[in-house]
A and B are shown apart, each in its own frame.
Chain A
Amino acid sequence: NAGVTQTPKFRILKIGQSMTLQCTQDMNHNYMYWYRQDPGMGLKLIYYSVGAGITDKGEVPNGYNVSRSTTEDFPLRLELAAPSQTSVYFCASESGMNTEAFFGQGTRLTVV
């Protein structure tokens, strides 16, 4: 059982470049989330989804986009990378029964 898989684990981007962080879960969870964690800080919600075709903004959505075409996949898109987006990004999924959120291993992104 793979759980939540994020790729890549590390990435360096130049200012203005774009990229997509991939997130896949194999637990048939309806709820999926994207968080960013700045050094020494907590997790801030970027976007979330309660099911395929449904997405909504979290606390810090500016500069990001998401889509949810399938239950399994929830990619996060950065269109014009900025140094302020340097962070560790976590994808998470949850069944919707408020039991436990499962997290990916994180993607460390550096924008230079």
Chain B
Amino acid sequence: AQTVTQSQPEMSVQEAETVTLSCTYDTSENNYYLFWYKQPPSRQMILVIRQEAYKQQNATENRFSVNFQKAAKSFSLKISDSQLGDTAMYFCALVISNFGNEKLTFGTGTRLTIIP
């Protein structure tokens, strides 16, 4: 079974600064996908960024980028030039590419607060 661990329950950073959220995972599979989802106070789950395990290049989406270390099973999220709208819970998630057995497994989340 796969597990996802987020060791930072809460973080805060000044607006415009850069913040990095940590995520480690465990799986015996070689083909999988990793995600960061954002959950603002509205409760809506929003995909932030996605990484295929077979790709060595780290994914980027505007101010959001990841540091994917496959050997270390680490998948951190970096938010540059943080904005007040980035205040939310952030969840790291893993899905194994196994037809008929894809279960999206989430970490416990990191509550990020951007301070004006």
Residues of A that sit less than 8 Å from B by CB: 31, 33, 35, 40-45, 48, 50, 54, 58, 88, 90, 92, 94, 96, 98-101, 103, 105-106
Q: List 24 A-B contacts (CB under 8 A).
A: A31-B102, A35-B106, A40-B9, A40-B109, A40-B111, A41-B109, A42-B106, A42-B107, A42-B109, A43-B91, A45-B103, A50-B100, A50-B101, A88-B43, A90-B45, A92-B104, A98-B33, A98-B52, A98-B102, A99-B50, A100-B35, A100-B47, A105-B43, A106-B43
Asked if B97 is at the interface (CB within 8 A of a chain A CB), the reply is yes
Q: For the complex of A and B, list the 4 residue pairs with the smallest distance between their C-beta atoms, beginning with the closest.
A: A103-B45, A42-B108, A43-B106, A98-B33
Residues of B that sit less than 8 Å from A by CB: 6, 9, 33, 35, 43-45, 47, 50, 52, 91, 95, 97, 100-109, 111
Contact check, A48 vs B50: say whether CB atoms are below 8 A apart: no
- The CA-CA distance from A90 to B45 in the complex, in Å, is 9
Contact check, B103 vs A48: say whether CB atoms are below 8 A apart: yes
A41-B109, A50-B100 given; name 16 further pairs at CB < 8 Å.
A31-B102, A35-B106, A42-B107, A42-B108, A50-B102, A88-B43, A92-B45, A92-B104, A98-B52, A98-B95, A100-B47, A101-B35, A101-B45, A101-B104, A103-B45, A105-B43
**Chain B: minimal CB distance from A58 (Å):** 7
- The CA-CA distance from A99 to B47 in the complex, in Å, is 10
Dominant SS among interface residues on chain A:
strand
